């Protein structure tokens, strides 16, 4: 799907010809909450000029609509058209729809919500014009445009094909705006749209081969290097975890490697090499440790981490980040069949570590372990990041609004937390509790992959298991099981697959990797 167009037109509302276009359907004006001791929402950039040009008391209109000015609170009104050719109304020749949108305290999160609200109030329109962030700094402009573009997304369906975006086709930003902020917002939103589209695809289409083919097509289109290891290569090189998890499926597993290398003549220090590994379970039945019916329903989204890893490298290339970025996508379907791996099996992972299996529904950490070990041994990363819908424990701990962040490196944690706050994809750092590590000891292998004798702390134990495969690398684990899926739409987040993680990683890659 194509994103709506975003255009900057300089000039004030009072005299701008941008409002007179035949395809302009609405003008959006911003409001803030009432000042202390007042009861009326406060006008913001361009609102007073709009009132003068339309000849309307917008304060009275806001009161009649019960507009609060709170972030994302939006109200539309369609002005009457003249009854005859000789009737001239103050707004003749201007858009007949006005949208009053609340911007709250004017923080980036508020503007992101405001942008999403504008998207929802402009469905079916051609062009909307707004002064919401006129004269604002780049961070606020980016937040508003991101909110609009993210709110414009709708999941594709088989019944209707690719739907039209849930917003006007064209957003005109009236006034002085930073063009680079708009471009950054478009790049991040496009990456998130792609992650959502991949994640929501039904699994009878989205098997490991299909997802590998899509990754090849997208990477090739972006001019990136891409390599796919099939079952023969995986077996020859010893990827025991990926092969075991995918053994019960009619479609064998894959490992996809996508590489972005920045131009060699860029100024500044030498770029770091960041490897992003994404869990790519295209469907998860739980295997022999089978899930309940209810728990199985959303499992087409269990490859959300792989979608984030792929769109991160695509977004990094589109934005021209200075760091070298490689995405690893270990792809498998955890099916139930005669050849499925079993509890009590002992697997030999990439690099030789043996793992005792005790629950085949903890398959994500096995495919990640193979990919992390491969990255450590073959790719020489400066920073190794994995992203996964890994544990229900992380969802129980943090709900649907925060991803769980695990790392022993304080500076990396701070930088990623900052990127999360700035992008609206928030993280909460969780501890790597050393006292829990012995619960992964095994009598028949180097490690168990699920703890023995330990109640709770499932997300922490999973992170401790993954840590065993990163060597001495600087490493971050993001468990996004909660925010990768939304049970209901809210502001810029759609119901279902959210694409959580792509924008925060792109923000992180665009700035210092350490804070």
**Active-site residue (options: 112, 120, 365, 426):** 365
Active-site residue, from 126, 291, 348, 400: 291
Q: What is the DSSP string of 328-369?
A: EEEEEEE--STT---TT-EEE-TTS-EEE-S-TT--HHHHHH
Q: Give the residue carrying structure tokens 């202390």.
A: 36
Distance of CA 477 to the CA centre of its chain: 16
Q: Which residues are CB-contacts of 227 (< 8 A; sequence separation ≥ 6)?
A: 256, 257
Q: Tell me the DSSP string of 20-57.
A: G-TTEEEEEEEEEPPPTT--SPEE-TTHHHHHHHHT--
Token digits of residue 361: 């529904």
CA–CA gap between residue 158 and residue 444 (Å, rounded): 48
Q: Is 448 strand, coil or helix?
A: strand
Q: Is 402 helix (H, G, I), strand (E, B) or coil?
A: strand
Q: Any idea of the CA torsion for 10, 16, 21, 26, to the nearest 10 degrees?
A: 90
Q: Is residue 120 among the annotated active site residues?
A: no
Query: Is 365 among the catalytic positions?
Result: yes
Tell me whether residue 285 is exposed, middle or buried, using C-beta atoms within 10 angstroms of its C-beta: 0 to 12, 13 to 18, 19 or more: buried
Q: Which two tokens stand for residue 184?
A: 């950054």
Let me know: does 484 contact 304? Beta carbons within 8 Å: yes
Q: Are 317 and 510 in contact (CB under 8 A)?
A: no
* 355 neighbors 448 (Cβ within 8 angstroms): yes
Q: Which residues are identified as catalytic?
A: 291, 365
């Amino acid at each position: 799907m194509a994103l709506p167009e975003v255009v900057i037109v300089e000039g004030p509302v009072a005299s701008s010809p941008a409002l007179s276009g035949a395809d302009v359907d609405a003008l959006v004006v911003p409001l803030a909450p009432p000042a202390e001791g007042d009861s009326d929402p406060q006008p913001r950039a361009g609102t007073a000029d709009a009132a003068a040009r339309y000849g309307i008391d917008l304060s009275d209109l806001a009161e009649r609509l019960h507009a609060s000015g709170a972030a994302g609170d939006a109200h539309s009104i369609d002005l009457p058209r003249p009854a005859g050719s000789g009737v001239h109304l103050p707004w003749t020749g201007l858009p007949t729809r006005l949208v009053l949108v609340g911007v709250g305290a004017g923080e980036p999160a508020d503007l992101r919500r405001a942008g999403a609200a504008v998207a929802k109030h402009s469905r079916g329109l051609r062009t909307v014009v707004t002064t919401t962030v006129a004269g604002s700094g780049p961070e606020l402009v980016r937040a508003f445009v991101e909110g609009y573009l993210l709110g414009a997304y709708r999941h594709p369906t088989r019944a209707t094909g690719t739907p039209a975006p849930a917003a006007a086709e064209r957003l005109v930003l009236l006034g002085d705006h930073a063009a680079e902020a708009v471009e950054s917002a478009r790049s991040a939103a496009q990456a998130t749209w792609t992650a959502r589209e991949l994640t929501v695809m039904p699994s009878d289409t989205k098997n490991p081969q299909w997802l590998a083919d899509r990754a090849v097509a997208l990477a090739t289109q972006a001019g990136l290097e891409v390599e796919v290891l099939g079952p023969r290569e995986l077996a020859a090189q010893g990827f025991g975890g990926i092969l075991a998890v995918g053994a019960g499926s009619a479609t064998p597993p894959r490992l996809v490697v996508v590489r972005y290398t920045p131009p060699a003549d860029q100024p500044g220090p030498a770029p770091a090499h960041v490897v992003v590994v994404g869990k790519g379970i295209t469907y998860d039945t739980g295997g022999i440790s089978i899930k309940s019916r209810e728990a199985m329903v959303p499992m087409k989204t269990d490859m959300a981490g792989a979608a984030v890893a792929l769109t991160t490298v695509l977004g990094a290339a589109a934005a021209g980040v200075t760091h070298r970025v490689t995405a690893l996508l270990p792809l498998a379907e955890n099916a139930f069949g005669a050849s499925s791996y079993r509890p009590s099996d002992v697997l030999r992972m990439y690099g030789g570590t043996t793992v005792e299996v005790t629950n085949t529904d903890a398959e994500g950490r096995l495919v990640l372990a193979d990919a992390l070990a491969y990255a450590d041994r073959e790719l020489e990363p400066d920073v190794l990041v994995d992203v996964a819908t890994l544990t229900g424990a992380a969802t129980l701990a943090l709900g649907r609004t925060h991803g769980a962040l695990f790392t022993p490196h304080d500076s990396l944690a701070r930088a990623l937390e900052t990127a999360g706050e700035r992008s609206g994809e928030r993280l909460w750092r969780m501890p790597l509790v050393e006292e829990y590590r012995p619960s992964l000891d095994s009598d028949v292998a180097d490690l168990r992959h699920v703890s023995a004798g330990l109640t709770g702390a499932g997300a922490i134990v999973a992170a401790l298991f993954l840590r065993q495969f990163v060597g001495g690398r600087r490493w971050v684990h993001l468990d996004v099981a909660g925010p990768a899926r939304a049970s209901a739409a809210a502001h810029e987040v759609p119901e279902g697959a959210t694409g959580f993680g792509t924008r925060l990683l792109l923000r992180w890659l665009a700035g210092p990797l350490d804070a």
